[in-house]
Amino acid sequence: MATTLPPQILSPPIRKTSDALLAKASNFGQLLEEVKKLAISKSLWDDEMQRDLPKKWEKHGDMIVFPQNSFTHINWRFIGRELWPIVAKSLNVARIARKRQIDEMRTAHVDLLFGKDGWVDYVDEREVRFCYDTTVRVFNNSKKTEMKRISKWACQGQTIIDLYCSLGYYSLTFLVACEARQVIAIDWNEEILESLVRSAQINNVDDRLLVIHGDCRRVSPNLAADRIYLGLLPSCRAHWLVACKALKVEGGILHINEIIDMTPEKPPAEKKKTVVVKKKVLKKQSTLPAVIENQPTSSGKDLGEEKEAGAPTIPEEENGEESAENGQKKKKFTRSASIVEEMENRVLPDVQIWKEFDETFQKLPAKLRNFANDCAQNCTRFLNNIHLSDHLYAVTIINVVRYGEVSKNQEHIVLELLCCPQNSSVEHMISKFTSENLKN
C-alpha cells in the first residue's frame, strides 16, 4: 500500500534569497534591492557594485549624506541621474548628498545629488535646534560630548566670546542651555554665519547673539568677555594673545582646545667614539705671503700712523657719561624704553594648579602637563603686558579634559585656565565659572 507523504515533504518551502531577507531586515537591504533591480534592467549589474554600496550614512532631517567612498563604481555613472530618485525612495527621504574631501580652506565638502537645496534642521537631545546648509558645512557629531559637558554650566550674567563659532555648536549651547547674557560669535565664513543667525532665530535667542564676520585676530573686541572659547583644531596657539586681550579687567576663564602629539620620544642615540688618526705633516714653505704689521697703504702711511691721524676716538667714559673735553652728554632712555625695561625686570607670578585638580594633574602624561604649563606661562606674560598696573595677573590651571585619540598618537584635550589679578580670590572666581545650571 502506497503511503502519502506530507505536503511539506512533497514540496519543500522555497528559501528566500539573502537579498530578500536583507530588504526586510534593514534599510541597506531595501537600498540594495532597488538599485540592483534598476542596474539589471539596464544590463549594468556587477557584483562589485554591491560592495560599493554604503553600509552606514548620516541622516540630517529628511536628507541622507553618504560617505565619500560610496557609489564610485563606473556603472553608477552609466545609470546617470535616474539612480538618485530610486535611492531616495528606497530610504524614504527627500534629499540625497555625498561627502567630498575637506580641503585646507574648509570649503564646501558635500555634493547635493538629489533635492532642491541643502538646508536642513537638526534638533539635538538638549532640544537645541541647528539650521544649516549641508553644501557649506555638515554638522560635526564629534563635538556632541563637549557640548553636553558645557550644557551643565550656569552662565547667567556672563558675556562669552566664541572665537571660531562655525555652526554655533558652542555659541548656541551657551545661549540656550547655559542661559548666557550675551554671546559674541566670530567666524570668517559668511555662509556659516548665515546658518548661525537662522539657528539663533528658531531658538529665539537672536537678541542675545552678536555675530562678527572676520579674522578674530583683527575683529575680536578687547576687555569684553568673562569667558573665551577657543575651539579651533588642531591648534589655536596663534590666538592665545587675542583671547587674553578679550578678557575683562577683572579676569575670566579660557577654554583652549588642542590636539597633542603623544608620540613617545625616542631615547637619544649613543655617540659613536671617534678615532683620531695622526698623520705626518710634511713641512713645506707656505705659498701665502706673510702678513706684515704696519703695512704701508696706498697713501704711503702705515696703519699705525692712520690710527693716530684718524678721526677722534669715542671717549672712554662708560654708559655715555658726560665728557668735559668734547661736551658729550649721557644718553637718556625714552619713556617707552623705560617702560619696556621695567616690564622686563618684573618677576611674574608662577603658574598655579587649583588645589582640587592638583592630584589629577600630577598623574597626567608629561606631554599634557608640559603643554598646560607652557600655555599658562604664555598667558601670564600676555596678561601682564596688556594690563600695566600695580597688581600683577596670575594664571591657574583648573582642568584638563581628555577626549582620547582622534588619530594615531594624536589626542584631543580641552585646557581650562583661570586668569585674574593676583590679589583676587581664586576660589571665588572658580566657583563662579564652574557652578552648574540648576535647570539642567
pLDDT at position 183 is 98
pLDDT at position 414 is 97
Residues β-bridged to residue 396: 352, 418
pLDDT at position 345 is 66
> For residues 81 and 356, what is the distance between their CA atoms, to the nearest angstrom?
61
**DSSP labels for 358-409?**
HHHHHTS-HHHHHHHHHHHHHHHHHHHHH--SSSPEEEEEEEEEEEEEEETT
pLDDT at position 99 is 87
pLDDT at position 326 is 53
> For residues 357 and 401, what is the distance between their CA atoms, to the nearest angstrom?
11
> For residues 320 and 120, what is the distance between their CA atoms, to the nearest angstrom?
73
Kindly list the structural domains of the chain, giving each domain's residue range(s) and its CATH number in brackets, ordered by start: 18-116 (3.30.300.110), 140-263+347-434 (3.40.50.150)
pLDDT at position 437 is 83
Contact 150, 124 (CB under 8 A): no
The helix-helix angle for 27-41 and 83-91 (nearest 10°) equals: 150
Contacts with 20 (C-beta within 8 Å, 6 or more apart), sequence order: 33
pLDDT at position 11 is 47
> For residues 278 and 425, what is the distance between their CA atoms, to the nearest angstrom?
70
Containing H/E element for 121?
strand 119-123
**DSSP labels for 13-51?**
PPPPPHHHHHHHH-HHHHHHHHHHHHHHHTT---HHHHH
Q: Diameter of the chain by CA atoms?
A: 149
pLDDT at position 287 is 46
pLDDT at position 9 is 45
The helix-helix angle for 27-41 and 18-25 (nearest 10°) equals: 130
Q: And the C-alpha cell for 155?
A: 552662565
Which residues, given as ranges, of the chain have pLDDT below 50? 5, 8-24, 104-106, 286-325, 333
Q: And the C-alpha cell for 370?
A: 608640559
